[in-house]
Amino acid sequence: MSGLIGLAACQPTPPATPTGPAPTGPTVETPSTETTVPGAPTTVAPSTTTTAAPTTTTAAPTTTTAAPTTTTTPRTTTTTAAPTTTTTTPPAPGTRAGWTLVGGDEFNGTSVDTSKWKMYNNTYGDGNHELACLQPSNVAESGGSLKITSKRQTVTCPGGSVRNYTSGFLGSREVGKYFPRYARFEMRAKLPHAQGLWPAFWLRHKNGASTAEVDIMEYFHSAAPGKGYATLHLDGRKNLSKGRVGFEPSNATPAWHTWAVEISPDPNGVKFDFFMDDVKFHSYVDTQHNWTASADAASTWDIAINQAVGGDWIGDPDGTLGYLRGADRCSISGTAPGGCVTTGIQRVKWADPAATTYSIDYVRVYTR
Ligand SMILES: [Ca+2]
């Protein structure tokens, strides 16, 4: 959740986030790497492929030979048995070969587990000029998933700021949940396609996001319709490395995709590998990593899951399509504010809550 704007210029004062700077937005520049995963974004991105076992039934030759006189050869029917079908039992949730599940949330309950997450009630994100008041009431857990729904409604947020939009944010640091430095962080989620909605899954260093931040998935619909970003901000080196990947057409009904980072020791430092649907689309080795010295290896990261509304990097949900008001420029290309390219950008559909909802099936943390 970081970007080009200097932190000093956009430090918010979130009541619930004493140590971390606000997410500071994306970049809309050409990313350092971009991976096209087969099938995306112009076709449905790869999902689980199930190959049905072939069922081969060879029709029996039916031979009836009339006897020359009164004897009839018995009717013979031969059926070749279908190949034996091997039924593979799906692995238990969270089972991953070579890894041990050490944390996360399946979100299969009926309310958010407040021993794992703090639901913000503030205007965290002011540093990016985001527009929403973040409220627990915009977060729900039901039907096997967590749902963060952004709404167009006017509320007075704690602190007195009146906002015309609401949304949700879950953080683990406020409840003391930190995770190992070297781990795999994975989410399965559906992302809404709309200008002004900015779903994200990211890690903040225990000493704050200004020390280190790992953006596992950010979706800037208006800047890169149908594509997700992974970005590193380490030791104050903003946008140190990033990659993006197409996950589905930007006018599609949102489908489930997995997003993950694997952080591992490397002979030259610390390695970050980013995956979408288990396809690696970005990798970077940080040879400096001063940030590793200032937190215990067993508890380096927190987890943040949120959906921002509006601001510098995603455009206003009800504003000019393709225009980033905060940055006063077009999100894709063109001449701001009225001549921006809008190809692939969808208008938010407030009347349909499903179209403004970021759904998360699970978050899992593994170590080797
Ligand atoms: Ca689930």
Distance of CA 316 to the CA centre of its chain: 21
- Whole-number Å distance, alpha carbon 97 to ligand 1 midpoint, is 20
Model pTM above 0.85? no
CB atoms within 10 A of CB 139: 24
* Cα distance between residue 317 and residue 323, in whole Å: 10
CB atoms within 10 A of CB 249: 18
Q: Say if CB 157 and CB 133 are below 8 A apart.
A: yes
- What would the pLDDT profile of 71-119 be if each residue is shown by its tens digit? 444 454 444 454 555 556 666 788 999 999 999 999 999 999 999 999 9
CATH code of the domain occupying 7-35+98-367: 2.60.120.200
- Whole-number Å distance, alpha carbon 129 to ligand 1 midpoint, is 32
Q: What is the DSSP letter of 293?
A: G
* Count of helix runs (H) and strand runs (E) in the chain: 0, 23
Who surrounds ion ligand 1 at CB < 5 A?
106-108, 144, 361-362
- Whole-number Å distance, alpha carbon 69 to ligand 1 midpoint, is 72
- In the chain, how long is the greatest CA-to-CA distance? 105
pLDDT average, residue stretch 126-152 = 97
- Whole-number Å distance, alpha carbon 340 to ligand 1 midpoint, is 39
- Whole-number Å distance, alpha carbon 160 to ligand 1 midpoint, is 35
- What would the pLDDT profile of 206-228 be if each residue is shown by its tens digit? 999 999 999 999 999 999 999 99
* Cα distance between residue 44 and residue 278, in whole Å: 15
- What would the pLDDT profile of 26-78 be if each residue is shown by its tens digit? 444 444 567 766 544 433 333 333 334 443 333 444 433 444 444 444 454 44
- Whole-number Å distance, alpha carbon 255 to ligand 1 midpoint, is 14
- Please list, in sequence order, all residues whose beta carbon lies within 8 angstroms of the beta carbon of residue 75, skipping any fewer than 6 positions away: 62, 63, 64
